[in-house]
Structure 1
Amino acid sequence: MSDEGVFSIRPAGRHILTIGRDLIQDPYAAVVELVKNAFDADSEYVQLDFSASNEDKRYKIVISDGGHGMSRQDVVERWMVPSTDDKLKRKVSPSGRVLQGRKGVGRFAASILGEDLLLETTTSSGKTTSVYVQWETFEQASYLDQVELLIDTDDTSKGSGTVLTISGGEIGFEEWDEAQFRRLKYELRKLTPPAAAVSGIELKQEKFDIRLRVSGFEGVQDTDEVIESFPILEFYDYMISGSVDENGAGVLKYSTQKIENSVDEDFLVDFSHLFEKSCGKLHFDIRVYDRDKDDIEQIIKRGLKDKEGNYLGNLAARQLLNFNNGVGVYRNGFRIRPLGDAQFDWLKLNQQRIQNPSRKIGSNQVIGFVHIEAEEKSGLVEKSARDGLKENAAYTRLIHLTQEVISELEKRRFALRRSLELGKPKSRVEKQLRKLFTDDHVRVDIVQRLERSGIDAKVTKEISEILSRDIADKNRAAESIRQTVAVYQGQATLGKIVNVVLHEGRRPLNFFKNQVPNLEYWGAVFDNEPTSENLAKIIPIAQELGQNADVFAQLFSRLDPLAAGKRADTREFKLADVLQGALNVFENTLADQGVTVMVDGPSDFKFLGWQQDFYAIFTNLVDNSLYWMKEKSVSNPSILLRFEVEKDKLVFIDYRDSGPGIDKTLIASEVIFDPEFSTKRDGTGLGLAIAGEAASRNNLELNVLESDEGAYFRLQPADGDAT
């Protein structure tokens, strides 16, 4: 303390252990930090030697590199200064490498690996500087400035580089078992992305080998190897790669090895509408693997082999996926832990898969690489504890953008699996019901066979009558199911557009809530003083109550065809009126979004069918159009319904909008009509499936056609003839 009463902050002696042993979460993170330091030193390799003595239960870890080393001044003014901003200021190494260390604490991670540390660092000028550190010394010292370390500098003939020698006792000796070393190899394997996963990325390819040697540990096989990246990477089933810029616009490529001679698809994406906050430019390389038994065998046949060149078995291949899956986040060529760990599902892939297992992928099916920019450009800040990124707005955007990119892969995968019948597609309900109908030719065929076999005519007649009754019973049952399904689908459609009820009903409800108390108040005033002035206060409120009640009545009348609790018989109805009625369901929403609508066709044409089904078809189509035109901020949004009639029979009904349109891949496969398939966020996939079923019940087909502008659907007679 000075005479003026000013104090200086004195870090406690154990402060070094706090930013090392206590801050770094596990020994793997500590090794990774020291490996990064070797890279920053411009070394072409890092050698990790783990050796043990079973007799005295001690072990030694030697981490060495061939980098530029440190001078005595570097050791004193940089290495021995906690939280130095040296690398933050320099940003690149003498050879031009982007520096991995920035916070000035990574070297103290050595304290988690053993009891002491010997630093020996040699410069190209032939000077070796040594420092010996016993971590217990910092525990015992009251203040950090009380800890004194001896620094020795000598001339040497050795080449430049740094050697860290760490020794430990029985506690650490017991922890380094087979599982620990297996996890260490996993961490080192995932530390840097393989060359195949950085194609097209502005990342200088640096020679940097990670060598691991293990010897003397009880129960652990001795090894001496160069760590290699994912052997399974090139044998993917599906892949999506490319980049998205800081504004959310980008170019992606989708490819598959599921079928031979497949053509890669390049396409543009625009996610700018999702978030205002940027997370910088992102590069993606995401590979997905199907995991059924036959799928795994396909992966093996593509060339998945062990180190000896033998094809892996199904179990070994599955274990390889189990151990290497995850979507990692990389900056300047190094992974940010734990993003990408198999057990750390930061993208919530498993949660989404539970909700939609036929379309969504799980985290154990994907090996992915997401490359991010520097903190200054991206806003993505790594935590000091090396346990991920700070959960700020930029991190939220990173999550959602990555989910959107994966979604682009998922919908293409879903379509392909449907076309190859890999995803156990669900036939449309109407098609399944038709299988329950038994045609009379089956009965006739059976009777003829009985007659040719010489069965008594009386017996044959009895069997024929039994079959006739069974056919009639089945047909009645199937028809009953059909009608019930139709009612349920109408109700489901009503539930699907409940947002219409909430949106349009909110205004009159708010009026009732606010004005009914006023009506009661002025009613009481008028009761006490029945003057014309007080009556004048009541009349406008009463009139507006009536107008808002009429809004409710009109809303419910527009929704009434979908809410039918009982299936009516087919009847003739004016098609133009029903089409306009389906649009009227969304009357206020259409007005709010500025959507122009038109129904074009002969106003007097009548169609024989179920009116409720037509409401189900077109309310689902309109609901989809409104969603996508709003989602994509379409200028001049519009919907056109046009139908043609020939000789008093329907030829077709065309439905078109000015929205973003439908991907050609989805059009070709017609997967959009399958239940559970949806390109909407949190979509159920029911809308078009219901529309397709409703069309079939009226002997019509609902097809999606390619269009240069917007979505284009055509409803026409199922047999191709005007009806």
Structure 2
Amino acid sequence: MTDDGTFSIRPAGRHILTIGRDLIQDPYAAVVELVKNAFDADSEYVLLEFNADSEAGKYTIVVSDGGHGMSRSDVVNRWLVPSTSDKLHRKTSPNGRILQGRKGVGRFAASILGDDLLLETTNKSGEKTSVFIQWDVFEQADYLDEVDLLIDTRTVSQMPGTILTMQGGRVGLEEWNDAQFKRLKYELRKLTPPTTAISGIEIKQEKFDIRLKVSGFAGVPDADETIDSFPILEFYDYMISGHVDERGLGKLRYSTQKIDNASSEEFDVDFSDLYEKTCGSLKFDIRVYDRDKDDIDQIIRRGLKDREGNYLGNLAARQLLNLNNGIGVYRNGFRIRPLGDAQYDWLKLNQQRIQNPSRKIGSNQVIGFVHIESEEKSGLVEKSARDGLKENTAYNRLIEITQSVIEQLERRRFALRRSLELGKPKSRVERQISQLFTNDHVKVDIVTRLERSGIDAKVTREISDILSRDMAEKNKAAESIRQTVAVYQGQATLGKIVNVVLHEGRRPLNFFKNQVPNLDYWASVFNDNPTSDNLSKILPIANELGHNAKVFVELFSRLDPLAAGKRAESHLFKLASTLDGALKVFETTMSDLGIKAALEGPSDFEFLGWKEDFYAIFTNLIDNSTYWLREKRVASPTITIRFEIEEGKLAHIDYRDNGPGIDKALIETEVIFDPEFSTKTDGTGLGLAIAGEAAARNGLELKVLESADGAYFRLQPVSGGVL
């Protein structure tokens, strides 16, 4: 305190431990911080030596590098200054490396690794400076400026570099067990992305080896190795890579090794609607592995071997995936912990997989690398405790964009697996029912074998009659199942478009809510004073009540086919009127979105089938169109339905919109008709599956066709003829 009443903040002595031992979450993070400092010093390597003396109950950790070292002035004015802004302002090392340190506290992480620290650093001029620190001195001191440190400087003839020596006692010695060292190797292996994972990434390839030596620890094999990348990385099943710029526009490449010599696919993406605030430019390398036994065997056959060159077994390969999975986030070539840890599912992949296991991937199936820009460009700020990124708007955008990139891979993976008949068999309900109950071929085969065996013709006819009656009963049951499924699918479609129903009914409902009290009021006034003026207050409200009641009646009549509790027999109905009714279900929604709808075809044509099935088909198609036309903010959105008649029968119905369209790969595999497949966010994948089943019940097939201008579906007779 000075005489004029001003004060200076005096940090407590334990402040150093607060920003070191207390702030850094674990010893792995502390080692990583010291490794980054070696990189910032322009060293081509960092050597980590862990030596134990079990009898004496102590251990030593030595971290050394061959960098440019520090002068006495650097040690006093930078290294010993907590939270220095030196690296923040310099940004690059003398040799041009982008500096990893920014907070000015990483070196104090050494306090978690031992009881004391000896710093020995030599610069290019041969000036060697040594500082010895005992951490408990700071614990005991009232104020930081009361701690005196002895600094020794002399001239030597040795190569430049820095050596940090830390020693600890029996408590720390017991913590460094085999599991701890395995985790340390894992952290070091994931610290920097392998060369194969940064192809096309604008990161300067720096020579920087991490060498680990371990000796003398009980139950821990001695080791002397250079940390290398994951051996499983190149044997992926599916990969997506590329970039997305700060506007949300990008180019991605998808490839697979599930098929020999499969060509890769390059495509543009537009996530601009997710970029209310930028998270900067992003670059991706994401690899996915199927984990069924046969899939693991296939990965091994691609060349997955151990260090001795022997092929791994299925269990060992699975354990390798268990240990090394995760999508890491990297800045300037170094991972930001814990993003990418096998147990840290920051993208909520497992949560999404629970909802849709056949299509979504789990966190234990993926090894990925997401490269981000500097804090200034991206807004992605690393926490001081080295436990991730601050959860701000930019971080939320990072999650959204990364999930969208993974979705592109998942969509293509799902289509490929279905085309290869992997996972859930590709089969529609109608086909399954037919396979289960239609047994004509069984009857013919049995009768033929009986005849060839010389069985009496009368017995053969009796057996044939028994089989015919059994088949008739089963086919009757099959038809009952078909009709029940149709009812459920109609009601599922109604539930699927319930938001449309609510939207259509909201306006008349609001009118009733607001105007019925007014009608009651003026009716009471008119009852007491029946004048023409008071009557004029009632009549407009009464007229509007009738109009809005009519809106409800028409809405429910349009929805009635989907809500039917049972199915009637097939009957003739006017196709144009039915298609127009399906469009009118979405009348208000399309009006709000500015969607122009057109229906073309003869108004008097009648089709023999089920009207409710056509409602199910076209309400699902229209619902999809309105979703994508709104989602992609299409200018001048349109929906067109056109049907043609040949010789008095239906030739086909074409349904088109001018939305974003459908990927060619999805069209070729027709995977969009499979249940559970959806390209919508949180989509159920039921819509087109229901539409396809409803078409089949009417002797039709719903096909998706390629189009340069939006989605294009065609409904036509199964035989390719007319109905």
User: Deviation per CA, 1:293-320, whole angstroms, max 9, x where unpaired?
Assistant: 1111111111111111111111111111
Q: Is the 8 A contact 1:436 1:474 kept in 2?
A: no
1:720 Cα offset (Å): 1.5
User: Aligned residue for 1:443?
Assistant: 443
Alignment of 1:584-663 (within 5 A): 584-663=584-663
**Displacement after TM superposition at 1:529 (Å):** 4.2
Distance verdict in 2 for CA 1:613–1:362, change over 3 Å: same
**In the alignment, residue 418 of structure 2 is paired with which amino acid?**
R
1:28 alignment partner in structure 2 = 28
1:406 and 2:443 are equivalent in the alignment: no
Please tell me whether residue 60 in structure 1 is matched to residue 78 in structure 2: no
What secondary structure sits across from 2:21 in the alignment? helix
SS at 2:246's partner residue?
Answer: coil
Which residue of structure 2 aligns with residue 572 of structure 1?
572
The answer to whether the aligner puts 1:351 opposite 2:376 as a matched pair is no
Amino acid at match of 1:697: R
Which residue of structure 1 lines up, in the alignment, with residue 517 of structure 2? 517
Counterpart secondary structure, 2:19: helix
Measured after TM superposition, the shift of residue 526 of structure 1 is 3.8
Deviation, 1:435, is: 1.5
1:28-78 Cα shifts (integer Å, max 9, x gaps): 000000000000000000000000001011000000000001100011110
- Corresponding letter in the other structure for 1:488: Y
Partners of 1:379 and 1:96 in 2: CA distance:
23
SS in 1 for 2:20: helix
Deviation at 1:530, TM superposition (A): 4.1
Query: Which residue number in structure 2 is paired with residue 395 of structure 1?
Result: 395
Q: Which deviates more, 664-673 or 466-475?
A: 466-475
CA contact (8 A) 1:656 1:711 kept: yes
- Aligned counterparts of 1:679 and 1:494: Cα–Cα separation in 2: 20
| Aligned-residue offset at 1:441 | 5.5
Unpaired runs of at least 5, structure 2: none
Deviation of residue 444 (structure 1)?
Answer: 4.3
| 1:141 matched residue in structure 2 | 141
**Bigger CA drift: 33-42 or 524-533?**
524-533
Mapped to 2, the partners of 1:282 and 1:459 lie a distance apart of 77
Q: Which residue of 2 aligns with 1:236?
A: 236
Q: CA–CA distance in 2 between the matches of 1:444 and 1:426? A: 28
Q: Structure 2: how far apart are the matches of 1:523 and 1:74?
A: 91
CA contact (8 A) 1:342 1:364 kept: yes
Aligned CA distance change for structure 1 residues 339 and 434 (closer, same or farther; 3 Å): same
Partner in structure 1 of residue 279 of structure 2:
279
**Distance in 2 between residues matched to 1:35 and 1:695, nearest whole Å:** 64
1:278-307 per-residue CA deviation (whole Å, 9 max, x = no partner) reads 000000000000001111111111111111
Partner of 2:85: 85
Q: Distance in 1 between matches of 2:84 and 2:713?
A: 64
Looking at structure 2, the residues matched to 485 and 280 of structure 1 have their Cα atoms a distance apart, in angstroms, of 49
Inter-partner Cα distance in structure 2 for 1:81 and 1:516: 75
Deviation at 1:528, TM superposition (A): 4.2
Deviations 1:120-141 (A, max 9, x none): 0100100100000000000000
Q: Does 1:179 align with 2:194?
A: no
1:162 matched to which residue of 2?
A: 162
CA shift, 1:533, in A, is 3.6
Aligned AA (2:568): A
CA distance in 1 between counterparts of 2:448 and 2:157 reads 104
Q: Distance in 2 between matches of 1:69 and 1:524?
A: 95
Report the equivalent of 1:48: 48
**Structure 1 residues 81 and 440 mapped into 2: Cα distance closer, same or farther (>3 Å)?**
closer
The one-letter code sitting in structure 2 at the alignment partner of 1:231 is: P
Q: Structure 2 vs 1, CA of residues 4 and 532 (structure 1 numbering), >3 Å: closer, same or farther?
A: farther
CA contact 1:426–1:675 (8 Å) conserved in 2: no
SS in 1 for 2:654: strand
Query: For residue 459 of structure 1, what is the amino acid of its counterpart?
Result: V
CA distance in 2, matches of 1:568, 1:629: 35
Q: 1:299 to 1:444 in 2, by over 3 A?
A: closer
What amino acid maps onto 2:476 in structure 1? R
- Which residue is 2:264 aligned to? 264
- In 2: Cα distance, 1:15 partner to 1:420 partner: 61
Separation of aligned partners in 1, 2:372 and 2:353: 26
Whole-Å separation in 1 of the counterparts to 2:10 and 2:541: 74
- Please tell me the residue identity of whatever aligns with 1:634: V
Contact 1:670/1:704 (<8 A) preserved:
yes
Q: Distance in 1 between matches of 2:656 and 2:285?
A: 36
- Cα shift at 1:721: 1.5
For residues 591 and 360 of structure 1, what CA distance do their matches in structure 2 show? Answer: 35
Q: Determine the C-alpha separation between the residues in 1 that align with 2:145 and 2:192.
A: 38
- Give 3-state SS (helix, strand or coil) of 1:639's partner: strand
Aligned pairs for 1:283-294 within 5 A = 283-294=283-294
- Which string of whole-angstrom CA distances, capped at 9 and with x for unpartnered residues, describes residues 214-256 of structure 1? 0000000000000001111111000000000000000000000
Aligned partners of 1:365 and 1:637: how far apart in 2?
39
How many Å separate the matches in 2 of 1:183 and 1:302? 27
Separation in 1 of the partners of 2:441 and 2:141? 98
C-alpha deviation, 1:275, in angstroms: 3.2
Question: What does residue range 191-230 of structure 1 map to in structure 2 within 5 Å?
Answer: 191-230=191-230
**Deviation, structure 1 residue 632:** 0.9
Q: Does the 8 A contact of 1:197 with 1:285 survive in 2?
A: yes
Kindly report which structure 2 residues correspond to 1:516-555, keeping only aligned pairs within 5 A, or say none. 516-555=516-555
Query: Over residues 152-176 of structure 1, what are the superposed CA-to-partner deviations in whole Å (9 max), with x where a residue is unaligned?
Result: 1011111100000000011100000
1:567-606 per-position Cα deviation (integer Å, ceiling 9, x unaligned): 0111111111111111111111111111111111222211
Q: Secondary structure at the match of 1:470?
A: helix
Native 8 Å contact 2:672 2:678 kept in 1: yes
Counterpart position of 1:556: 556
2:292 maps to 1:254: no
Asked if the contact 1:579–1:615 (Cα under 8 Å) also holds between the matched residues in 2, the reply is: yes
Shift of 1:631: 0.9
Retained in 1: the 8 A contact 2:247–2:275? no
CA contact (8 A) 2:114 2:172 kept: yes
Paired position in structure 1 for 2:702: 702
Contact in 1 for aligned 2:115/2:135 (Cα 8 Å): yes
Output one character per residue of 1:389-419: Cα deviation in whole Å (capped at 9) or x when no partner.
0000000000010000000000000000001
Listed as ranges, the gaps of 5+ residues in structure 1 are none
Three-state SS of the structure 2 residue aligned to 1:21 is coil
Task: Give 1:561 shift.
Answer: 1.4
1:118 corresponds in structure 2 to 118
1: CA distance, partners of 2:117 / 2:528: 94
CA distance in 2, matches of 1:411, 1:643: 31
Is contact 1:414–1:423 with CA below 8 Å preserved after alignment?
no
Contact 2:418 2:426 (8 Å CA) reproduced:
no
More off after superposition, 636-645 vs 403-412? 636-645
**What amino acid is aligned across from residue 295 of structure 1 in structure 2?**
D
Relative to 1, partners in 2 of residues 1:444 and 1:90: Cα closer, same or farther, differing over 3 Å?
closer
Greater CA drift, 104-113 or 557-566 = 557-566
Q: Deviations over 1:304-355 (max 9, x none)?
A: 1111111111111111100000000000000000000000000000000000
Q: CA deviation at 1:644?
A: 1.3
Change (3 A) 1:414 1:463: same
Matching of residue 320 in structure 1 with residue 320 in structure 2: yes
Q: Distance in 2 between matches of 1:436 and 1:304?
A: 43
Q: CA contact under 8 A between 1:360 and 1:410: conserved in structure 2?
A: yes
Number of equivalenced pairs: 723
**Matched residue type, 2:140:** Q
Distance, in Å, in 2 between the alignment partners of 1:2 and 1:464 is: 114
Distance 2:135 2:413 in 1: 54
| TM-score (norm. length: structure 2) | 0.98
Q: Which amino acid aligns with 1:640?
A: T
